[in-house]
Structure 1
Amino acid sequence: MTAALAPAVLDVATWQARRQAHEERVDVWLTPYLARRRRGERHPVEDFLFTYYSHRPAQLRRWHPGAGVELRDAEPAEFGRDYRATSAGVTLDTEGVRVRRGESITWIRSLLAATAGRTPHFGCFGMHEWAMVYRQNPEELRHNAWPLRLGPERTAAVVEERGVRCSHFDAYRFFTPSARPLNLLNPTRETQHVNEQPGCLHANMDLYKWAYKLSPLVPSELVADCFELAREIRTLDMRASPYDLAALGHPPVRVETPEGRAEYATAQRGFADRAAALRARLLAALGAHHDHLRVQRERSKQAPHPDLHHHNRRDL
């Protein structure tokens, strides 16, 4: 049996400084959103990460050091049910989290590895957002407080002229019924591991989702890094959408033109490079957990069956 590695130890000044830095960092994003929510206001760009994804603001703000870290002079109650006391402070109950999240860890790692191993594609030019409004009644538009830059008919014509090549199921499922047959692919949840590719804006935005679903096994700084990238990607996503958001300070990327498509693809490549680094960090953090779960599964397969003689005697 392999001996467990000794946890990294953070003294109280170090871990409290890291926690404070994390809280101050995310408060820059959280404070405006929470203020808008109290006023009942909606923002089609800035609200997305808080309304589409299930991670609540308080969860994003809560700092976790990640697996294999001991915090000196800390109490388990400060960090939640997944922590246990040590002789000097607290540490994450890594084994307990692994047992509870085992299936998710395996699934997420498989998706990230499959996506990382593919060649990125940069030819979609954001048409997924256009397909979400294609031939839709104006009152049914998701962001109907904001006008379509080109109007309904010209918007539909752009979709028909350009076509749609979307590999991301969670974008495709919001296409209007009439837009789905125009897509080159037919992504499903079952084919997600086959279709997702590292140039896709939504696949790269979803790194935030996989990071927070792995919390507290991964440090909160990594979750925040993924959130920051997702926030920037969302801005491009909506600037390239058919909506006119210039009044919000988001001038359009006119993907209906050659110049706009070139601008979009350049930004998309930059995001793909940054996402590749984050995906690699998530996979590195997952490595030890996945290996541990694999060994545990192999051991459970090799374990002898319960003592049948014992059960027979009990049943007599």
Structure 2
Amino acid sequence: MSEKVQHAVLPARQWHERQAAHEARVDHWLGRHLARRRDGVKHPVEDFLFTYYSHRPAQLRRWHPGFGVVLADGPAQPPYVSAPGGTTVDPDLPHRRLDSIRWIRDLLVATASRPPQLGCFGLHEWAMVYRQTQDQVRHNSWPLRLSPAATAQVVEERGVRCTHFDAYRFFTEPARPLNILTPTRDRQAELEQPGCLHATMDLYKWAYKLSPLVPSELVADCFELSRAVRELDMRASPYDLADLGYAPVRIETPEGRAAYALSQKDFAERAAPLRARLIEACDDLLIVSGSATGTPSR
């Protein structure tokens, strides 16, 4: 961890301002989700990050300055401990999470080392409904844009080029042989690439798994990008979400595929600096724990 981070003392007024700004930013996202949850209403786009990932709304809302920052007059409850000038995240935490930090870092570095692949056209979502009836599909409250037969024809004609295990594992059984790869958890670092929408969404997962060792602003930045990616993910899906205000990206057409690839490229470019920030944070935490990789990423 850099010298300025190790010994930074944040005055109470400054960290309270940062905390309030973070809470206001997150509350903008949480309000409608929590209202829908109370009413038992589901939303396939805006609720996804709260249902698919394990980070709860209250955890996202809680602000942390990151490792090595001392909060003047800060909280004394875990994960904070007393430090000269205030309180700080427990200095032993990086060592206790060493295996997780190293695994996340290695995955992110491997992903960043590859060029983005832009030819999948979001067909992973189509493979998740391949050869299923309306009542069998995952989001069965929303109709498919095409008939089941026409949906299957798109998958069969285009083929599937999914590199992401956590998308692939939701494929229907008949769709799996149509994928050019067989992603597994063990091959995740070998296959993930920065053009994948799900790899970009997962930056939010890796950020919150590093919390409270990284600033909550970074977690929120990753969440914000993941929200935008999820919108494209579902607009390009076989579902008809027009009633929710989402115009389809018709990847079954040449124009739709071109639009999808352009957006995919944009998301890969937006994800790159966030991935770099997470790698840098992991590198710093490994240095603090005495387990530097010996292969600096920056």
TM-score (structure 2 length as normaliser): 0.95
Shift of 1:73: 1.6
1:72 aligns with 2:72: yes
5+ long unaligned stretches in structure 1: 299-316
Mapped pair 1:42 → 2:57: no
Please give the alpha-carbon distance, in whole angstroms, between the structure 2 residues aligned to 1:276 and 1:155: 33
Give the drift of 1:139.
1.2
**More displaced, 289-298 or 233-242?**
289-298
Partner of 2:161: 165
The answer to whether the aligner puts 1:218 opposite 2:214 as a matched pair is yes
- Rg comparison, structure with higher value: 1
Provide the residue aligned with 1:277 in structure 2: 273
Q: 1:255 matched to which residue of 2? A: 251
Aligned residue identity for 1:85:
S
- Hey, what does 1:310 align to over in structure 2? none
Question: What aligned pairs does 1:185-196 form with structure 2 within 5 A after superposition?
Answer: 185-196=181-192
The RMSD of aligned alpha carbons is 1.7
- Residue 28 of structure 1 aligns with which residue? 28
Q: Is the 8 A contact 2:286 2:293 kept in 1?
A: no
Residue 116 (str. 1) matches residue 112 (str. 2)? yes
Equivalent residue number for residue 302 of structure 1: none
Determine helix, strand or coil for the equivalent of 2:174. Answer: coil
Q: Distance in 2 between matches of 1:297 and 1:272?
A: 26
Give, in angstroms, the shift of residue 121 of structure 1: 0.4
Which of 108, 127, 130 is 1:134 aligned to? Answer: 130
Large movers: runs of 4+ above 2 Å: 2-6, 291-298
CA deviation map 1:122-172 (0-9, x unaligned): 000000000000001321111111111011110000000100000000000
Instruction: Tell me which residue corresponds to 2:79.
Output: 82
Per the alignment, residue 309 of structure 1 pairs with none
Query: Is the partner of 1:178 in helix, strand or coil?
Result: helix
Partners of 2:220 and 2:3 in 1: CA distance: 32
Residue 297 of structure 1, CA deviation = 10
Highest RCO, 1 vs 2 (Cα 8 Å, sep ≥ 6): 2
In structure 2, the residue matched to 1:304 is none
Name the aligned partner's letter for residue 89 of structure 1: G
* Local SS of the residue matching 1:85: strand
CA–CA separation in structure 2 for the residues paired with 1:270 and 1:145: 30
The size of the alignment, in residue pairs, is 293
Alignment of 1:105 onto 2:91: no
TM-score (ref. length: structure 1): 0.90
C-alpha separation in 2, matches of 1:6 and 1:269: 37
User: 1:293 deviation in Å?
Assistant: 3.8
